[in-house]
């Protein structure tokens, strides 16, 4: 004989067992659901784990002023000129510095002239064709860079090698091109922008300063 209280108890146990299986079935279903396979990036902020999301890019547009366009065009022109002429200035500077060292050991006047003449032929052979293709502006930049590499302006170099008369002649020619052989090089002042570009070229092509 089954007592009424025991019947009710067994009924409740059976109901609890059914609910437990149903809950367990739902839990198993949730564990293998597609939402649990999505991986999200998270960050820890003040001890809390927060989902990290990337926002869509925001594009900002503005009109460039004529002054900015003019400044950029001027900088681009200078940068192109430095890239073209710096290898020549570096090579010419190395040759001239080498000549100065060797000429310091030559005391006889005729011997100095012969040595200069021989090196002049080498320089003409190496530089005549490429240098004649330079623009006037590139020529100005080249003279600045030669000053940078040698510590002497082009007027002093020509005067040393070819004499004062020839130096004055080339200075007059340079005057007609709105430039001067006596241009200084001020890496921290007037030519600061050019110096930045020179350092850029040195890093780009592995030139040592």
The domain in which residue 79 lies consists of 71-205
Give pLDDT, residue 154: 79
Tell me which of 84 and 206 has the higher pLDDT: 84
81, part of any domain? yes
Tokens of 187: 């890496």
Go through 126-137 and write b for each residue having 16 or more CB atoms within 10 A of its CB, e for each that does not: eeeeebeebeeb
148, part of any domain? yes
89, part of any domain? yes
- pLDDT, one tens digit per residue, over 18-67 is 444 444 444 444 445 565 666 778 888 888 888 888 889 999 888 889 99
- What DSSP letter does each residue of 29-76 carry, written as one string? HHHTSGGGG----EEEETTEEEE--PPPP-----PPPHHHHHHHHHHH
110, part of any domain? yes
42, part of any domain? no
Answer yes or no: is pLDDT of 97 > 70: yes
pLDDT category, 77, cuts 50, 70, 90? very high
Please state the domain count of the chain: 1
41, part of any domain? no
């Amino acid at each position: 004989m089954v007592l009424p209280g025991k019947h009710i108890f067994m009924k409740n146990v059976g109901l609890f067992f059914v609910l437990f299986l149903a809950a367990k079935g739902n839990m198993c279903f949730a564990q293998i659901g597609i939402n649990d396979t999505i991986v999200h990036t998270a960050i820890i902020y003040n001890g809390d784990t927060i989902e990290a999301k990337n926002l869509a890019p925001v594009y900002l547009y503005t009109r460039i002023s004529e002054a900015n366009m003019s400044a950029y065009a001027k900088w681009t022109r200078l940068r192109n000129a430095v890239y073209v002429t710096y290898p020549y200035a570096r090579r010419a500077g190395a040759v001239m510095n080498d000549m100065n060292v060797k000429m310091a050991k030559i005391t006889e006047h005729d011997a100095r002239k012969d040595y200069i003449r021989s090196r002049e032929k080498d320089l003409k052979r190496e530089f005549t064709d490429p240098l004649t293709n330079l623009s006037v502006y590139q020529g100005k930049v080249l003279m600045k860079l030669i000053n940078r590499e040698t510590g002497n302006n082009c007027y002093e170099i020509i005067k040393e090698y070819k004499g004062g008369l020839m130096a004055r002649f080339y200075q007059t020619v340079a005057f007609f091109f709105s430039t001067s052989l006596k241009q200084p090089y001020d890496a921290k002042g007037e030519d600061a922008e050019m110096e930045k570009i020179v350092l850029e070229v040195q890093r780009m092509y592995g030139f040592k300063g």
